[in-house]
Structures are given as C-alpha cells and as structure tokens.
Structure 1
C-alpha cells in the first residue's frame, strides 16, 4: 500500500500478546494504517516494524514512538511477558527514523486522554468537577496492575512513570490479611499486581475456594463468565471481592495523587468489572477512608473504552516532542 504523501510518524503499542502499529499525520493516527501482529510469531520488535513499513510501501518515518508493556528507562525497554529488549537508538537505526521515543504503555494511555472522544469515556462514578488542568490518574486493570498520574505543565501534559502494581497489597480486614497470606505462600510476595489483575482474579477465586474447604480453580475469563451467568456463586463472590479491593486501592491512590481532574480506568478488567461496580459496593469501599470519606466525593471515575488509545497517546506525545525540538 503506497502513500502519495507519506505520513511522517510511526507509532506502535506493544502489549503482552500483540503489537499494534500505525502511521500518524502529526498527532492524528491514520486508522486505515493500523495493523496487528502476534508477538509470539516474531523474534523481536525490529522485525515487526520492518515488516510493517514494507507493507506500507517501504516508508521511512521521520520519527517514531513506541509504547511498551513493561518498564522503560534511559531509552531502553523490556517487555514484561516476553523476552523482547528494545532501545531507542537501535530502533532508529533499524527503521531509518531520525528519532525514536519510547514510553511505558500506561504513559501512552495518559497522553491519550485529551485525544479520546467523550463517547469512549464511560462515567462510572460522578465526582466534583475539577478545574481545567487539574491532575488526573490513569489506572490499568488487565494482565497486570499499574497507575500513573497525569499532570499539565506549561509545555503540555506530563505523564509520570510508575510501578504501582509491585507495591505491597494493602489490607483492610482480616479476610484481606488471609488473602495476602495465601498469595504469599503460593508466590512469595503479595503485591497489588498479584491480586488486582487477570491472574489475581484467579488467585482470589482459589483463595475463596480454599476458605470453603475446597481446591477449585478457574481462569479469569471463566470467572467472569460464571459471574455474568450467576451459574457459579463462588465466581460472583470473587468478582465482588475483586471489585471492593480495587476500590480500596484506587481510593488510596486518589489520596496520594489528588486527581481532581478524574481517574481513568483502562485495561480489559476495567471494562469487565464496570457493570458490577454499583452492585458490589465499589463506591462504599472507595469512600471507606474514615473522616476523609466525604473528601472522596471529589473524584470522578471513568472507564476508557478506546482500543486505540495507546496509539493516539504515542502520536500526541511524539507530535509534541518533535515540535519542542524544532523550537529549540
């Protein structure tokens, strides 16, 4: 597919299973150029990007921005769930781009907030409207857990990196303590990521089964199906417990970051639990902060439902970065 006027930017979103690649005209992702690649079928990102550029008419992008589902530091990234190592300089040389920037995937979601339509923002908790430019918070519930604050600086938005999911899981009740002990015995440490994630949902199910004197296990997908159909009471109890724990942790993060501009939930599990938040007491658990309970009413919560948000975020970030470089 040749382009008469090639877009100047290449953007990519590398998840644990798939990589999405697209071209962008400045900060606008060109939807017709989005392609998806299965990571397991490729030895590394360079091969994916070269294959993509060849399919798009041997385009040489002016610059590129890559969102990585894993830690990024000093221009180097590592994919958490696959043995892919990447660095900005190597990728730039490989694809011929003048510049390559790399972000954590949650950072990319944060940079996308101003580029996602209102229709793709599902309000799940109404709070007080914060002033323009107020801090926001992006929370990922999916293969793992993480959270990143989004600040507005004179030069534009700034999304801080974080590894919040690897902090110790907080406890509020004796049952929470037993859950953490159960997970720690199985996995050595009870991190937030071990409980508020896809595998965490399975851990909670196994724990509740153990508490009932059984040893039943289910995948996260089967648990959500059992909850939706109400065919498995333990699945219903699991999703309810997961929902309340999510609210507790998000409430803690809200007090740390004060995101008066809103909290934005992303990831597959965010959309999965959204229909149950009211039924399973999310708001009560979120407000369970003692004398600060009323203060928690200041925070609105949304579920971001745009599948291409990370691509939009990388395009927006790269557009701003290149503009700053041109002005320097």
Structure 2
C-alpha cells in the first residue's frame, strides 16, 4: 500500500471516540496512539436534544483536551450528511459537528462494525469461553449481539488486515426443528409471513418466546420484561421462564452455528451485549453448544470452533480506539463515511 494512502488514512490526535446507541452513548478521548482511552460517564441520549450538545456539556466542558478528530459508531445506516439513529431522535451531522466542536476529521461507522473491531482489540481476559475449540488467530470470525435487535457482523483476515463485514444477518429466517418447537412457534406472530432471527433473539424477542411458551401450555404469563424472565430462569423459580430461556439459548446456538458456517469462522464466534453477559450460566449448560455443533455433515468442524461471550463493558469503544490508533491495521471502507474540514 502506498505511503500516500497510508497518510490519508491516519487520524489526527487527540481523537474523540463515541459509541452511540438508542438509549446510551459512551465516549472516550484517545490522546495519542500509545495512551489508553480516557473514558467519560455514560450519557443517556434522552437527556440531550442533540449529540453536539451532549458532547459539549459532558466531555468538552470537562476537559482541557480539544479533540481534532472523531470516530463514531452509530446504531443505524450511515447514508449521507445527516445520519439518523434507529432508536433515538439524535441526528449526526458531521459538517455541523466540525464547525461547532472544532473537529477537522469525522469518521462514522456502523455500531456492529465497532463490535467486530473489538474482537481483535480485546484479549481473552475480557471473554468467557463457551465450550471447546481453539481459535486460529488468522481465521475469520463472527460477532453476534442479541440486544435491542440482533446485530451481526463478520470479520475476515485478508491482505494483512482485518476487514469487518457488517450486514443484516439478524433478519435471516428462523424456524422450528423439534415437535416442541412447532408447538411454541405456532404462537409467535410472523411479520409479513415470516419469522426472522431478530423476532426471537433480542430483548423483546425473549418476551415473545416466553409468552409463546405460556400460550402453548395454557399458562398465564407472570413477567413482562427480559430481566424478569432471565432472572426467574436462572433462579429456576418459574418453569415457563426456564423453558423460554432454554429455547432462546438453543435458537441463538443454531443461528450462531449457521453464521459460523457462512464465514468459516475458525477464529471464533463472539457473543456481545448485555443479554449475552447476563445469561452466561444458561449458555454454559450445554444447550447452546449442542445446537451450535448440530450441523451435520460438519459436526467435527463446528466442535473445533470456539465461542466466547465478550464481557468487557465498553467493547465497541475499545474496537473504535484500536481502529483510531492504527487505521491501516483494518480494512474499513470510509468512502461516504468520512468528512474532513
């Protein structure tokens, strides 16, 4: 790669890092390529009318450091000069941001690209292993995140760089396999004639599964939130909640296994987000790995693929910081997603 291209990819320090979701935004500042990110308190997006206001009052007003560049990850498609967030009224306007906040360079990525970057930025001390398998350090990887929705990204190694592959893998079809599955799936409402992974494998999806299990048994649902359902299941205090979480874990294993085959992810499959972190005991029971490996004729291949839960609370920020330090290490396409003053 030419020196000119290398120079163009470099970002000026200090760099503002931002992981902006529908509910929370997490920010940090990277002083130089050797420093650890300086983190700031988590911002509730509802507390500020605009992202610029949030950055000014929660970061710039509290530090003497003036960022020159910004690398932001947003939960929503990056398209054009006004980037709307999926579950939040904030709009990212890079030109206005540069003018108001004194920045000269702004890069905006997809939130699951940031999660994919985190997979190579974090060490195993920030991961909980689920079952057998050892990673091939240079092989493809998959990131899967059941949260507000179901985020999916691939990560492939090519031309000595890590290349994140974002997409809409959370919207693949998912269906019943066992007789019991058929009883439960009959009570999950399709959208336009089909059931996608995201209808089950997210917070509201877990609630849907729980209600479907209750209906299949003629039981009255007691809980209304994902936290109540997972809590009761892990405490073994409610049979319907237990079965709902077991089916959730099984379907997550099936979907993770499908994606592992698509990306041939001998480098590992990585589960991210709060739901995965909260249900680690349920993921360790064996149902997840059984479903993950049940991919005849490739059972042996699947058995050797490791699966991890990322336990770092600021994984996306760590991924963005790794990219900001050394953009040349990653094959991130910034055309149409980078603005310079």
The answer as to 2:161 corresponding to 1:162 is: no
CA distance in 1: counterparts of 2:32 and 2:329, whole angstroms: 10
For structure 2, which runs of at least 5 residues remain unmatched after alignment?
Answer: 1-11, 335-341
What displacement does 1:214 show?
Answer: 3.3
In the alignment, does 2:313 pair up with 1:307? yes
Which secondary structure does the structure 2 equivalent of 1:183 belong to?
A: coil
Q: Is the Cα–Cα contact under 8 Å of residues 17 and 320 in structure 2 kept in the other structure?
A: yes
- Worse overlay, 250-259 or 45-54: 45-54
Matched with 2:281 is 275
Equivalence for 2:7:
none
**CA 1:121–1:140: 2 relative to 1, 3 Å:** same
**Shift in CA distance, 298/199, structure 1 to aligned 2, threshold 3 Å:** same
Measure, in 1, the Cα distance between the counterparts of 2:13 and 2:119.
23
- In the alignment, the residues of structure 2 paired with residue 180 and residue 72 of structure 1 have an alpha-carbon distance, to the nearest angstrom, of 34
Q: Secondary structure at the match of 2:89?
A: coil
Instruction: Determine the C-alpha separation between the residues in 2 that align with 1:259 and 1:250.
Output: 10
TM-score between both structures, scaled by the size of structure 1 = 0.88
The aligned counterpart of 1:148 is 153
How many residues are aligned here? 319
Runs of 4+ in 1 over 6 A off after TM superposition: 322-325
Change (3 A) 1:27 1:157: farther
Q: RMSD over aligned Cα, in angstroms?
A: 2.6
Task: Summarize the Cα distance change of 1:71–1:170 in structure 2 as closer, same or farther, 3 Å threshold.
Answer: farther
Q: Which moved more, 1:86-95 or 1:104-113?
A: 86-95
Which residue does 2:301 correspond to in 1?
A: 295
Residue 52 (structure 2) pairs with residue 46 (structure 1):
yes
CA 1:73/1:186 → structure 2, altered by over 3 Å: closer, same or farther? Answer: closer
- Checking the alignment, whether the CA contact within 8 Å between 1:141 and 1:269 is kept in structure 2 is yes
Partner of 1:318: 324
Contact 1:264 1:303 in 2 (8 A): yes
Higher mean C-alpha displacement, 273-282 vs 38-47:
273-282
TM-score with structure 2 setting the length = 0.85
Correspondent of 2:77 among 71, 75, 80: 71
Q: 1:142: Cα distance to partner? A: 1.6
Deviation at 1:34, TM superposition (A): 2.0
**1:90 CA displacement:** 3.4
For 1:137 and 1:305, the matched residues in 2 are separated by 16
**Further displaced range: 283-292 or 50-59:** 50-59
**C-alpha contact (below 8 Å) 2:16/2:70 kept by paired residues:** yes
Deviation at 1:113? 2.3
Greater CA drift, 160-169 or 264-273: 160-169
CA displacement, residues 18-76 of structure 1 (integer Å, 9 cap, x when unaligned): 11111113456645442221111111211111223432335431110111122223565
Q: 1:317 to 1:179 in 2, by over 3 A?
A: farther
Which has the larger displacement, 22-31 or 220-229?
22-31
Query: What does the per-residue CA deviation read over 1:217-264, in whole Å, with 9 as the maximum and x for residues that have no partner?
Result: 531110011112211111111111111111011111111111111111
